[in-house]
């Protein structure tokens, strides 16, 4: 998958077009990839290549947006962890005072605890001033002449599975959401995490399979990396047993890898807004999904000199 310079924008068509049709099901065996071909799509979310040299300029710019008496949301990820480290240093040095942090998931909470930050749960705060969130993938799009941001959260599987539902709740409670991503892509694609009830996961998976027949495969996420389409011997289930994760994998069955256009719906290329609408209105049982299209800004790197740059969304 190619990465693009920051000046590259994609013009997305958000018109819904004709009314969607629900297509007949083919036998599952003809639609599900064999277990030995279990390489994840969207592996651009693997942050193993990220070094502190990449995180420092992003976190430094993020800290310019933090003031005393603020409530700050923080996600998982190396960039967000660097923000936590810098925030801890700023508090100790007295550059800011009385800042509390709302971690978006347990892994972020562990990082904040290591840094000695004062934390609150999402239920303990009335609002969050700014949330810094590190997506698995981010695209800067131009739609109807306005710049917007589309992102995907929750592809990561290690060291723990993400809490997509809590992440989305935190961002909805935030006055401002700022993404942290060292590079962005020209279009969203690959895999989209879907949170569904664990007890009825097969029913929800079948519904998704009907909706995206020929466009995407539906895999249950395993607790280990080498899971097969049904989650392997150890499918992931949340600690409280309430939900599991499905991955909607937008792969080209003929050419392999992700679709060149990014996302598909009804056999046609679609944008993240269209996909978001379909997931939220056409499928029962979806508790949350990894698409997020309401970020206010992204802090990214200028590929020429690797300095931090803020790209703002155009608001109505």
For residue 280, what is the enclosing H or E element? helix 272-281
Residue 278 in any domain: the answer is yes
Q: Does the pLDDT of residue 30 top 80, yes or no?
A: no
Report CA-CA distances (Å) from 6 to 160, 275, 297, 316.
31, 24, 13, 23
Residue 73 in any domain: the answer is yes
Residue 4 in any domain: the answer is no
Query: Which of 32-36, 67-71, 255-259, 310-314 bottoms out in mean pLDDT, i.e. has the lowest?
Result: 32-36
> Cβ(84)–Cβ(101) under 8 Å?
yes
pTM flag (> 0.85):
no
We report the CATH number of the domain holding residue 132 as 3.40.50.1360
The structure tokens listed for 126 are: 């009335």
Q: Does the pLDDT of residue 52 top 80, yes or no?
A: no
| Residue 49's pLDDT band (cuts 50, 70, 90) | low
Residue 50's pLDDT is: 60
Query: Tokens 């995180």 sit at which residue?
Result: 55
220-269 tens-digit pLDDT: 999 876 677 788 788 999 989 999 999 999 999 888 899 999 999 999 99
57-94 tens-digit pLDDT: 999 999 999 999 999 999 999 999 999 999 999 999 99
Residue 237 in any domain: the answer is yes
Q: Does the pLDDT of residue 20 top 60, yes or no?
A: no
Report CA-CA distances (Å) from 34 to 38, 54, 193, 228, 257.
7, 37, 20, 7, 15
Q: Does the pLDDT of residue 19 top 90, yes or no?
A: no
Residue 5 in any domain: the answer is no
Listed residue (257, 232, 237, 239) closest to 195, CA to CA = 237
Percent of the chain whose pLDDT exceeds 90: 70
Report CA-CA distances (Å) from 299 to 65, 101, 274, 309.
11, 19, 25, 6
Residue 232 in any domain: the answer is yes
| Residue 138's pLDDT band (cuts 50, 70, 90) | very high
Number of domains observed in the structure of the chain = 1
155-207 tens-digit pLDDT: 998 888 999 999 999 999 999 999 999 998 899 999 999 999 999 999 999 99
Residue 42's pLDDT is: 38
Residue 2 in any domain: the answer is no
Domain of 216, in residue numbers: 10-15+24-312
Residue 1 in any domain: the answer is no
């Amino acid at each position: 998958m190619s990465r693009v310079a920051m000046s590259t924008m994609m013009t997305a068509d958000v018109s819904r077009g004709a009314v969607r049709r629900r297509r007949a099901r083919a036998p599952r065996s003809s639609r599900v990839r064999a277990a030995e071909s279990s390489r994840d799509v969207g592996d651009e979310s693997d942050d193993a290549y990220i070094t502190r040299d990449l995180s420092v300029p992003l976190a430094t710019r993020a800290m310019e947006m933090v003031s005393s008496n603020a409530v700050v949301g923080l996600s998982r990820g190396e960039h967000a962890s660097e923000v936590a480290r810098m925030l801890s240093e700023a508090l100790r040095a007295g550059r800011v005072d009385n800042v509390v942090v709302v971690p978006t998931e347990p892994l972020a909470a562990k990082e904040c605890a290591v840094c000695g930050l004062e934390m609150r749960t999402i239920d303990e705060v009335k609002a969050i001033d700014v949330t810094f969130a590190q997506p698995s993938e981010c695209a800067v799009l131009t739609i109807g002449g306005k710049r917007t941001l589309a992102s995907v959260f929750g592809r990561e599987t290690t060291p723990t599975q993400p809490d997509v539902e809590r992440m989305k709740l935190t961002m909805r409670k935030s006055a401002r959401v700022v993404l942290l991503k060292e590079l962005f892509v020209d279009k969203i694609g690959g895999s989209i995490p879907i949170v569904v009830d664990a007890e009825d996961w097969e029913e929800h998976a079948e519904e998704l399979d009907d909706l995206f027949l020929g466009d995407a495969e539906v895999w249950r996420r395993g607790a280990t990396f080498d899971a097969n389409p049904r989650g392997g011997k150890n499918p992931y289930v949340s600690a409280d047993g309430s939900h599991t994760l499905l991955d909607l994998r937008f792969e080209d069955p003929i050419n392999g890898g992700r679709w060149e256009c990014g996302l598909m719906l009804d056999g046609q290329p679609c944008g993240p807004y269209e996909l978001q609408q379909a997931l939220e209105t056409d499928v029962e049982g979806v508790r949350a999904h990894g698409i997020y299209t309401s970020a206010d800004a992204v802090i990214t790197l200028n590929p020429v000199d690797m300095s931090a740059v803020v790209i703002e969304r155009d608001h109505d």
